[in-house]
Structure formats: structure tokens, C-alpha cells
């Protein structure tokens, strides 16, 4: 008696699911969802190549140093890098003395405690310290940025789809909303007249909701002066800092690539040896 009731209950449940599926499909076809401005005008990241791309990719140390310079002189005023310590900059090709000088001369000092009074204090950073935040806390960060909270950039290249390409596209994607068209040739303000960007925000089609609180950080060519003589165009600076943030998100990327190649070679050799062993063991046996 219990089994037939359970079967009927299961059939009833399946029937309800099928009914819901069919009705949902009919509703979607007859009344398709309204198009949104984000769906129609949000652009996919631009195509850009980095030396670290691909299974055999390696970091370009000179580019990483240039990207660090852009971060230090432009981005560090608002964005933290909590997961990176000063000593990690040795991986960029800096010497130990240079790392100590970078830490000591950092614009924001490291939070500390006065050993005599126990009161909060600050001190010069050392190579063992993490990169200090430019703000004392979230309240101070929001107060300085019109209530917007600048995100930490340590893992930004891993936290966003297309990583470095997204960062590069965002930095170079600021444009005038008036007259902006998507890939289909539709003009934004003609299709969505009420989608005008508020005065406190900035239009960027590579940002999720098209309007971002951060003003264009790379405002003009030559904003930084590269030590290696590279011409600091906006495009070059954006690509360099994107490469630096790819490194900050995955500093062991080269080691992972090398390990992957070694594992593949090992598996190929092991497979070959296993095949010859199989042939040798079963060589005298006829099928």
C-alpha cells in the first residue's frame, strides 16, 4: 500500500515540475523579459595579450616594475594591496636594498602600537609588512570617496572574469555617454533616455552597471615617468598596471606553469613505459 502511494506522490511531483517548466517556457516566449541598459550596452573586455598568458606564460619583469610604479604613483592613493608584502617585490626584480627603500619611503605608514602608552600609532614600514591601506578604516575611505569604497586590488585579477583584460579595458574604457553606441549600432540615450549617468558617477561601458564612482585614474599620457624610458601612454600604463595586478593575484604563476609542464612530461613517460610493459608481458599470448 505504501509503495503505490509513494509512486503516485512521485508522479505528481514530476507532473508539477513538467507543468511549471512548460508554463515558464510559454511565458518566456509570449512575454520575453524587458531589455535592460546593462544587458544591451555592457561591453566585453578588449582583447589584450600579456606575457603571462597561456600554459607556458612568464612574467615580463620590466613590465611588472612599470606596473608597480603606476600602482604606487596613481592607484595607491585610494586602493589597498592587503595580500602583498613589501618583500614580495623581490619577485619583480628589485634588490633587497631597493625593497627596504620602497618600504621605508611608502606614503602611508604601517599601523602600530606605542609600546610605552599602548595607544595606536604608526611607524615606517619594513619589508616584512603588508602594503598599508591609504585609509584608517572603511568609514574614512567612504568619507574620502563620496561614500564609495575603493576595493582592495590584491586579488582583483582573479576576482573578475577575464582578469587582466577586464582591468585594462576598465582603465581605458572611460568615454562620453552622449552618442555612445554598442556593437549593434544602438545609441544608448536614444534606446534608454532615462539612463543618463548621475553627476557623481562616470560612464564606463566595461563596468557592470555602466556607471562607476572612480574617476578616470589615467587621465593623460605621461602621468608617470618610467625609469626604463618606455613612453607612458595611457594605453601602456593601463596594460602595465594590469600585468602587475595579475602578478599580485597569482605571484606563483610561473612555478605553477613549470610544475604543470613537468607533470605532463612525467605522465607521457609513464604512459609510454606502461604501454611497452603491457606489450612485453602479453607478447606471448595469442588472442
Q: Which residues are annotated as part of the binding site for heme c?
A: 75, 78-79, 214
- The widest CA-to-CA distance across the chain, in whole angstroms, is 88
3-state secondary structure the chain: CHHHHHHHHHHHHHHHHHHHHHHHHHHHHHCCCCCCHHHHHCCCCCCCCCCCCCCCCCCCHHHHHHHHHHHHHCHHHCCCCCCCEHHHHHHHCCCHHHHHHHHHCCCCCEEEECCCCCCEEEECCCCCCECCCCCCCHHHHHHHCCCCCCCCCCCHHHHCCCHHHHHHHHHHCCCCCCCCECCCCCEHHHHCCCCCCCCCCEECCCCCCCEECCCCCCCCCCCCCCCCCCCCCHHHHHHHHHHHHHHHHCCCHHHHHHHHHHHHHHHHHHHHHHHHHHHHHCCCCCC
Annotated binding-site residue numbers: 75, 78-79, 214
108, burial (CB in 10 Å: exposed 0-12, middle 13-18, buried 19+): middle
Amino acid at each position: 500500500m505504501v509503495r503505490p502511494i509513494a509512486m503516485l506522490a512521485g508522479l505528481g511531483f514530476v507532473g508539477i515540475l513538467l507543468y511549471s517548466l512548460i508554463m515558464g517556457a510559454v511565458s518566456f516566449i509570449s512575454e520575453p523579459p524587458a531589455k535592460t541598459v546593462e544587458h544591451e550596452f555592457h561591453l566585453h573586455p578588449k582583447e589584450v595579450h600579456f606575457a603571462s598568458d597561456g600554459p607556458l606564460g612568464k612574467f615580463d619583469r620590466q613590465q611588472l616594475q612599470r606596473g608597480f610604479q603606476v600602482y604606487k604613483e596613481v592607484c595607491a592613493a585610494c586602493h589597498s594591496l592587503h595580500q602583498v608584502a613589501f618583500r614580495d617585490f623581490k619577485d619583480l626584480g628589485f634588490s633587497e636594498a631597493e625593497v627596504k627603500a620602497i618600504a621605508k619611503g611608502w606614503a602611508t605608514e604601517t599601523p602600530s602600537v606605542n609600546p610605552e602608552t599602548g595607544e595606536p600609532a604608526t611607524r615606517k614600514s619594513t619589508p616584512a609588512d603588508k602594503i598599508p591601506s591609504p585609509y584608517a578604516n572603511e568609514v574614512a575611505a567612504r568619507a574620502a570617496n563620496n561614500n564609495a569604497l575603493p576595493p582592495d586590488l590584491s586579488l582583483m585579477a582573479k576576482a573578475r572574469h577575464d582578469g587582466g583584460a577586464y582591468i585594462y579595458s576598465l582603465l581605458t574604457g572611460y568615454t562620453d555617454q552622449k552618442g555612445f553606441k554598442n556593437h549593434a549600432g544602438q545609441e544608448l540615450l536614444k534606446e534608454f533616455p532615462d539612463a543618463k549617468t548621475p553627476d557623481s558617477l562616470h560612464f564606463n561601458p566595461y563596468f557592470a552597471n555602466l556607471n562607476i564612482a572612480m574617476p578616470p585614474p589615467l587621465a593623460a599620457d605621461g602621468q608617470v615617468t618610467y625609469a626604463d624610458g618606455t613612453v607612458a601612454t595611457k594605453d601602456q600604463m593601463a596594460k602595465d598596471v594590469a600585468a602587475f595586478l595579475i602578478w599580485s593575484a597569482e605571484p606563483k604563476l610561473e612555478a605553477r606553469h613549470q610544475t604543470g609542464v613537468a607533470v605532463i612530461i612525467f605522465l607521457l613517460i609513464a604512459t609510454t613505459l606502461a604501454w611497452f610493459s603491457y606489450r612485453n608481458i602479453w607478447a606471448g599470448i595469442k588472442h
